[in-house]
Amino acid sequence: MRVLMAMSGGIDSTVSAMLLQEQGCELVGVTFRTFDSIKEHCLAKEKGCCSVESIMEAKHMAEKLGFEHHIVDFREVFKEKVISNFIQEYLHGRTPNPCVLCNSHIKWGVLMQQADALGCEKIATGHYACIRKRNGRTYLATAADTHKDQTYFPWMLTEENLQRTLFPLGGHTKEQVRQMAAERGFETLSHKRESQEICFIPDNDYRHFLEKEVPDFHTICPEGNYIGADGKVLGRHKGFACYTIGQRKGLGIALGRPRYVTMVDALRNEVTLGDYEDLYTTGLLADACRIREPEWLQNEAEVEARIRYKSPAQSATLQLEGEKAQVHFARPVWGVTPGQSVVFYKDGLVAGGGIISSVPRFP
């Protein structure tokens, strides 16, 4: 089987390639260029999954393993589909998750077209995820390593995407993957650290990025008021887009005790501050939902809902109405953030997901 192997230069994609080769697959490596992270205004060292350094590492690994490798320029479509959304979400007072859109539009979007062009039946990635069948449909399923499970990000994938995808690491733990790399002679790779930053923000400062990418940023997001839950003015902030739900550090205001961002109002240019406990809620509203089998999640279905990658899924009741959903949690959850994804799990499968639109205070 001819497989298009998405190579990042890191341990996960490299070990995935080794495992597929050992299973007899014919591999074609591909690494994509999504963003020029070195610019005149940015002095940070370029890093991340799509940097020049990582691209050359991926090419080197493919050559060392003996299969062809292609570098593909996806910068234009990445800017259109991912970066533009990232900017607009912050300018509307929301906190986006660019990795979700990248998975949908880039890694399983234009990459599928690349697979067709190179005559590949399947594509493979180093994600920690599995694929299972249910009622004739193909589902994302949680990985063996629950701490590394990455099913949160690709929840938008379609039936066609999943039918053509291989996840070689789904049944392995991260420690096992490191051991496999070492056993196959890649000792240095087995100790390689993972990048945690957004690939197009090498200094991990999204505020600086917005200032540089939006010419009239300070006109759109001028200084405004911090307010309390009672509406009382507490001080001045530097522009609503510079704050995210749950933020405590970098507020630039002293109020005698720790305060957290509990709401960002772009229309009023107000940022609400409150206590840690104020960030607990028992529900959320989501839109742009994609549900694999709507009939499976009807009549207030019981699901496990995850509101961010590093948070465990929580028991919840789901009410669907078209592409909108209302989620009621069995117990309060902390820091639900508009703009982030909520992913629904049932019986270990990703049953669907949506984009969090608001956090009403349910009784």
User: Which residues carry out catalysis?
Assistant: 102, 199
Q: Are 139 and 131 in contact (CB under 8 A)?
A: yes
Two structure tokens written together for 260: 């957290």
Going by their DSSP bridges, the two strands 165-166 and 349-358 should be labelled as unpaired
Two structure tokens written together for 39: 């610019």
User: CA 282 to CA 315: how far, in whole Å?
Assistant: 11
Q: Are 32 and 71 in contact (CB under 8 A)?
A: yes
User: CA 120 to CA 28: how far, in whole Å?
Assistant: 8
Query: Which secondary-structure segment (H or E) carries 291?
Result: strand 280-291
Compute how many other C-beta atoms are within 10 angstroms of the C-beta atom of residue 236: 12
Taking CB atoms within 8 Å and a gap of at least 24, the contacts of 17-25 are: 17/61, 17/62, 17/65, 17/67, 17/124, 18/65, 18/180, 18/181, 18/184, 19/168, 19/169, 19/180, 20/124, 20/166, 20/168, 21/65, 21/67, 25/1
Closest by alpha carbon to 294, among 352, 350, 349?
A: 352
- Give how far the C-alpha of residue 216 lies from the chain's centroid of Cα atoms, to the nearest Å: 28
User: CA 278 to CA 271: how far, in whole Å?
Assistant: 14
Length reported for the chain: 363
What's the start-to-end Cα distance of the chain, in Å?
Answer: 55
User: CA 100 to CA 88: how far, in whole Å?
Assistant: 15
For the CA atoms of 30, 31, 34, 37, the dihedral, rounded to the nearest 10 degrees, stands at: -170
